[in-house]
Amino acid sequence: MSLGAAPRAISHALTLSAENEAVVEAVLSHLTSEQLSQSVAEDGSNAPFIWLGASDDVEGQWRWSNNGEQFWSGDFNGTAVSGQYSNWGVQPDNYGGSEDALAIGLSDWPDPFYDLGETGQWNDLDKSTPLYSLVEFEDVSDLKVTLDSPSNGNVYSGIGIVKGWAISSDGIEKVEAFVDGDLIFGVPYGDRREDVGNTFPEMQQSFESGFSSPLNFSRLTAGEHRLTVKVTDSFGTVKEKSSLFVVARFDKSFIGAGDGVELGWARDFSALGRSILIEGALIDGAFYDIKLTWRTASQNFELVEITKSQ
């Protein structure tokens, strides 16, 4: 954000109530009390505002400056154009005849009555008023995210690992894991990653950029699922990475120490290339045909097929 008169070319069109609230929350969390005091309007409201990038150069025709689209017609007794979102206080009022630019309030106003607008509501102000401006950028964050496991298209069973890495110049705030759209847990961040550090030595935390957490894949239903990691950096930028994987599982989600596992009943053992086939394994009182395949990433033979047999 920069302090100055109302922005003309660079602006932001707020089209949803949730977006309006998110903007206010983000601005108030980033501006200090000193910065807020520097962005107080000069119209007698004694309240801080920031520019949003809209104006009524033709009086009463409020348009966003990024696309020229009109969203409001008239003064505080006016109407929204085509049902578009607006969040005026008892505004716009064109006080003094020169208030032609849109700002969003960062506190209630005016002091001491607070009857013309609340935090997050809009006001029209003189364009020459020095306020901070909200500027929207496209794809300027250097937040990078990679999901190593589960990998796309692979089959998983039992307890595995959700694993990957993330870096940002702003630092990483949190990593969350979702399965089929539902949040399952927050993923601890800060694993040692020499490979990432050597590739991005200029980025902070690059050598401790890994994240990982165990996941019991067998608690999911058999079949295809989507896992998504959502990474948020300290500036509030969010990036996601997803993979589609398949779960193979026994009837029980966890085979405990007291559950029977007996391969002596198997009808056939065979091996070909990287895979081992076992037909008729007795697991917890039921017979299964199972297939194990060597995976380089885990340095292990892993279950990739589980089929109940007679």
If pLDDT is split at 50, 70 and 90, which confidence band does 1 have?
low
State the pLDDT at residue 139.
55
- Sign (positive or negative) of CA dihedral 233, 235, 236, 240: negative
283 CB-contact burial (10 Å; exposed 0-12 / middle 13-18 / buried 19+)? buried
Half-sphere exposure of 268 (CA within 13 A, CB side): 7
Check pLDDT > 90 for residue 11: no
Specify whether the CB–CB gap between 47 and 106 falls below 8 A.
yes
In tens, the pLDDT along 189-211 reads: 999 999 999 999 998 889 999 99
d(CA 197, CA 89): 50
pTM: 0.56
Check pLDDT > 80 for residue 6: no
If pLDDT is split at 50, 70 and 90, which confidence band does 65 have?
confident
